[in-house]
Structure 1
Amino acid sequence: MLTATPTQPQSSLPLYVDLDGTLIKTDLLLESLLLLLKKNPFYVFALPFWLLAGRARFKAKIAARVSVSYEMLPLNSEFLSFLRSEKTKGRHLVLISASNENMVAAFAHNLDLFDKAVGSDYHTNLKANAKLQRINEMNANAPFAYAGNASADLPIWQQAQEIIRVNCSNSLAQDLAANKPRQDFDMPGSRWPLLWQAMRPHQWLKNGLLFIPLLLAHQLDDMHALQHAAIGFLCFCLLASSVYLINDLLDLEADRRHTNKRSRPLAAGALPIQHGAAAAVVLFTAALLLAHLQPLAFVEALGAYWLLTLCYSFLLKRIFLLDLFSLASLYTLRLIAGAGAGSVVASPWLLAFSMALFFGLGAVKRVTELVNKGELETERIDSEQEASFTLPGRAYSSQHRELLIRLGTAASAIAVLVFLLYIYAEETMALYSSPLILWPIVGLLGLILFRVWRFAITGKLHEDPVLFAISDHPSQIATALMFLVLWLAI
């Protein structure tokens, strides 16, 4: 929101505009660093040596190895509108940034707004006093206006005749001269709600799978086992949120191209990259400390889950069908971890059922994305024929929809079949006094899966299928009836 100024701005002054955090909501160095690590994680070992050569060379080496989609970077819209208005009035606008000069030039060319664009070269990191010196050189020490957002901009603001603050904390106000013309744009609110949203606590419901092995082993009355399962649940919630943040950081560009994911706090630039990265480290550390209270079998499953999620984030999510096997494995590892936490045996029937069920639900998720994307693309080209497209950051295109439906429905049918065979297994006879009473679960499970698939294929499913099944009222009733049948069969 634009704030009233102490005095009227001198719009005739040339305006020098910072880029990172000012014109764009994000930071080009951090964006390019994430792209580099996503391209090849082993670059992490080269980064310290590049940094020893100086920040300017560090930025140049990263910039030479990545390609940023400048048109997808989130902009501070209110400030951008102000700049466009000033440009129409003939004001001289210069983009000046500590980011690498090639990146700054490419961004300015894409935006087509500035008279000149200047960035850090191979020798000079254009920040704070170095940036002030460059402005004075370009402006021949004449009066100027400056738009920035951080404490590094204070030396420039102190000399500027007009101050423009964008997306910066109010604590900087006390360090600025009160008698200078000043304007505020896109000032941020509290970021804690955004961090909470980025942690995706609604996804924690999936970690309830850790209690399933105890339930099926009829050990929920064992308070010691239940306590370990509860601690394991908290461990997985913390670790999963850490992974979600890492995944969002690595998927910024793909999320910005996605119809729904573009509004995520990190992709939208509402939550700074450094905040998301710090939170991921804190959550991971907390999960690791809690894991020390758990049995070794749980720790091993938790470690396998974390390693697989990293592989998924960096590589597996972009490999055809292997991403679905990975998702199914992540759900199954929750069950294995729950068994380890409660010191019970994870039945091979349960693991086979889990892999088939969650492979099918993973296929539902991809089909949902393809259906929803197809509707948008068809509307965009204003055609009655189905548009051809590819999902951003995934290995699936519109041509794969029918194949995924066949594979996914087959996997869902296999899950129902596995449970049917489980009813007649020897271990089932030992656990249940009347195993045949379990038969209604076959029909109820089939109804839930049929409902999920019907909604996905017809374009009525707009969320994670697991969360849909948890929140959908008919599915909730069917699930409650299944638990009732389990109790009656004991």
Structure 2
Amino acid sequence: MSLLPLVVDLDGTLIRTDMLHESALRALRDKPWDVVRIPYWLSRGKAVLKQRLAQGGSFDASSLPYAPDLLAWLKVQKAEGRQLVLCTASDLSIATAIAAHLDIFDAVMASDGVVNLAGPHKAEALEQRFGRAGFDYAGNSHADLAVWARARRAVVVNASADLATKAAAQCEVERVFEAPAAGLRAWRRVLRVHQWMKNLLLFVPLLAAHLLTEIDTWLILMLAFAAFSLCASSVYIANDLLDLESDRQHPRKSTRPFAAGVVPAWMGVLLAPLLLAASILLASYVGSSFLACMVVYFLLTCIYSWGLKRLVLVDCVTLAILYTLRIIAGAAAAEMPLSFWLLAFSVFLFLSLAFVKRYAELQAQMLSGKEKVHGRGYLTTDAPLIQMLGITSGYASVVVLALYLNSAAVLQLYRTPEFVWGAVPVMLFWVSWIWLRAHRGDMHDDPLVFAVKDKVSIVAGLVFGLVLAGGALGWSW
């Protein structure tokens, strides 16, 4: 085994992300006014840009998506007495923090605010320090070809077969570490296709008004569903990009494609506006009222991602409003008046579900031994209070449902209104069931996703639908 120094690149090699991209996203989230300075900093050189962005905020080196196979191999190399050098185009402050966390590197070389240590600059610096062919180099990009041309051996990491071939033309390839495949499942998770089921709420006003035979309205609502789903996916991508650090510290969210480094952040930055543009085009065809509702949803979600999600209780109220906005948008698309009872019922029910979501997160963090939820304003000791508020909100929605059943509107829509009273115990049971499962730690991050997969919830939903259908068709007890 050769004991020549092994030089390791950082971005895309040791970690499955790019710290420049992450620094820019962190600035966009925490100091959006710094984003307008980026062109000026870049005009002074890429090294200046990296240094300024790195100074904009701290990061948690322990939560970064390291390449596990490469890291394990590096530890073996270190144990065998090989000198390891971290050499990166990222800013020196970032590289130093990562090296300190891993504690396997003997030296750190990085951009210093003057020289951007990438490509030819990195090659020259390494040749000056170790001599031509006096080191081996682990890298991942075409910019590293200039370095491999002066190295003795190459270690190709997370790269294409084409790059591995080009690296072999420069020097002997010692090892190849394959890149994780971003398959169809990863892209489904990027778009959060399973979350599109929330947009079925657009059809609620049509169902509540018993206008099931309006084919033209169904077609318009399906187009609205597509528009809202694309808009929601663009928001989910933006939220994931702005919430990388918090997601990486969450037991389940840490496996999300951007957080885990399976899909690079720059792809999300490009994809989100494209999805938004497509959704606006579709929404424009549906109608101006629906478009206005969708724009309000988008803007409120952006405000939520930038700050409201960190405010205690405000975050849950905002989530309830976002759910309810889907129903309002559905009514706008179908050009139907909104029912006061439907809105009141929705707000209380969705507030309860928002509290379920937050309660489940608090429980997960508590089991991890943490006292505070990263990126949120909650302490894990707040869980009992959140539980109480959520159960109260859920039962309030049932009270609204009961009051609605005593209103004049029920007499117009249902032939046997007394049959519809069966919906009240069904809702009481389901709200209680959801909170029981949350209390036992069985709740998914999203209660609506949980409900669609939960057999008891599915049965409760079917019974609820049968009760309403029975009342509409004139069934009697």
Alignment TM class, shorter chain as reference? over 0.9
CA distance in 1 between counterparts of 2:18 and 2:173 reads 27
CA distance in 1 between counterparts of 2:468 and 2:182 reads 47
Which structure 2 residues correspond to residues 271-350 of structure 1 after superposition, within 5 A?
Answer: 271-350=263-342
Deviates more, 1:412-421 or 1:426-435: 426-435
CA distance in 1 between counterparts of 2:234 and 2:445 reads 21
8 Å Cα contact 2:202-2:326 kept in structure 1: yes
8 Å Cα contact 1:30-1:273 kept in structure 2: yes
Letter in 2 for 1:318: R
CA distance in 2 between counterparts of 1:12 and 1:456 reads 55
Letter in 1 for 2:387: I
CA-CA distance at 1:454 after TM superposition: 0.8
Change (3 A) 1:85 1:311: same
CA distance in 1 between counterparts of 2:185 and 2:361 reads 27
Tell me if 1:76 matches 2:58: no
Which structure 2 residues correspond to residues 97-116 of structure 1 after superposition, within 5 A?
Answer: 97-116=88-107
Residue in 2 that maps onto 1:43:
34
Out of 411, 416, 421, the residue aligned to residue 434 of structure 1 is 416
CA-CA distance at 1:163 after TM superposition: 0.7
Letter in 1 for 2:19: L
8 Å Cα contact 1:78-1:186 kept in structure 2: no
8 Å Cα contact 2:137-2:154 kept in structure 1: yes
Residue in 2 that maps onto 1:419:
401
CA-CA distance at 1:37 after TM superposition: 1.2
CA distance in 2 between counterparts of 1:418 and 1:31 reads 46
Letter in 2 for 1:75: Y
CA distance in 1 between counterparts of 2:428 and 2:94 reads 54
Residue in 1 that maps onto 2:172:
180
Tell me if 1:475 matches 2:457: yes
CA-CA distance at 1:423 after TM superposition: 1.2
8 Å Cα contact 1:195-1:276 kept in structure 2: no
8 Å Cα contact 1:101-1:120 kept in structure 2: yes
Letter in 2 for 1:478: A
1:351-374 CA-partner distances (Å, limit 9, x unpaired): 111110010111111222222332
Change (3 A) 1:234 1:410: same
Which aligned segments of 4 or more residues in structure 1 are displaced greater than 6 angstroms?
Answer: none
CA distance in 1 between counterparts of 2:259 and 2:173 reads 33
CA distance in 2 between counterparts of 1:200 and 1:141 reads 49
Letter in 2 for 1:254: S
Structure 2: runs of 5 or more not aligned: 473-477
Give the match's secondary structure for 1:259: coil
8 Å Cα contact 1:168-1:188 kept in structure 2: no
Out of 241, 255, 266, the residue aligned to residue 249 of structure 1 is 241
CA-CA distance at 1:429 after TM superposition: 2.4
8 Å Cα contact 2:65-2:260 kept in structure 1: yes
Deviates more, 1:92-101 or 1:179-188: 179-188
8 Å Cα contact 1:448-1:469 kept in structure 2: no
CA distance in 2 between counterparts of 1:176 and 1:71 reads 31
Letter in 2 for 1:340: A
Residue in 1 that maps onto 2:475:
none
CA distance in 1 between counterparts of 2:186 and 2:296 reads 29
Letter in 2 for 1:430: Q
CA distance in 1 between counterparts of 2:150 and 2:132 reads 10
Give the match's secondary structure for 1:293: helix
Give the match's secondary structure for 1:125: coil
8 Å Cα contact 1:76-1:186 kept in structure 2: no
Give the match's secondary structure for 1:164: strand
Letter in 1 for 2:144: D
Identity of aligned residues (%): 40
Tell me if 1:237 matches 2:245: no
Structure 1: runs of 5 or more not aligned: 1-9, 378-387
CA distance in 2 between counterparts of 1:420 and 1:263 reads 42
CA-CA distance at 1:142 after TM superposition: 4.9
Root-mean-square deviation over aligned CA pairs? 1.6
Residue in 1 that maps onto 2:382:
400
CA-CA distance at 1:277 after TM superposition: 2.1
CA-CA distance at 1:192 after TM superposition: 4.1
8 Å Cα contact 2:28-2:35 kept in structure 1: yes
CA distance in 1 between counterparts of 2:409 and 2:453 reads 32
8 Å Cα contact 1:329-1:355 kept in structure 2: yes
8 Å Cα contact 1:331-1:358 kept in structure 2: yes
CA-CA distance at 1:399 after TM superposition: 2.1
CA-CA distance at 1:323 after TM superposition: 0.5
Give the match's secondary structure for 2:154: strand
8 Å Cα contact 2:363-2:441 kept in structure 1: yes
Give the match's secondary structure for 1:292: helix
CA-CA distance at 1:459 after TM superposition: 2.0
8 Å Cα contact 2:182-2:263 kept in structure 1: no
Tell me if 1:465 matches 2:447: yes
User: What is the count of residue pairs matched by the alignment?
Assistant: 471
8 Å Cα contact 1:169-1:188 kept in structure 2: no
CA-CA distance at 1:403 after TM superposition: 1.2
CA-CA distance at 1:67 after TM superposition: 0.5
TM-score by length of 1: 0.93
8 Å Cα contact 1:164-1:183 kept in structure 2: yes
CA-CA distance at 1:306 after TM superposition: 0.3
TM-score by length of 2: 0.95
CA-CA distance at 1:22 after TM superposition: 0.5
CA distance in 2 between counterparts of 1:477 and 1:192 reads 31
CA-CA distance at 1:435 after TM superposition: 2.4
8 Å Cα contact 1:209-1:334 kept in structure 2: yes
CA-CA distance at 1:20 after TM superposition: 0.4
Which structure 2 residues correspond to residues 81-100 of structure 1 after superposition, within 5 A?
Answer: 81-100=72-91
CA-CA distance at 1:248 after TM superposition: 1.1
CA-CA distance at 1:134 after TM superposition: 0.9
CA distance in 1 between counterparts of 2:112 and 2:441 reads 50
Give the match's secondary structure for 1:266: helix
8 Å Cα contact 2:240-2:259 kept in structure 1: yes
CA-CA distance at 1:482 after TM superposition: 1.6
Change (3 A) 1:71 1:466: same
Tell me if 1:448 matches 2:430: yes
Residue in 1 that maps onto 2:124:
133
CA distance in 2 between counterparts of 1:372 and 1:64 reads 32
Letter in 1 for 2:155: I
CA distance in 2 between counterparts of 1:463 and 1:307 reads 23
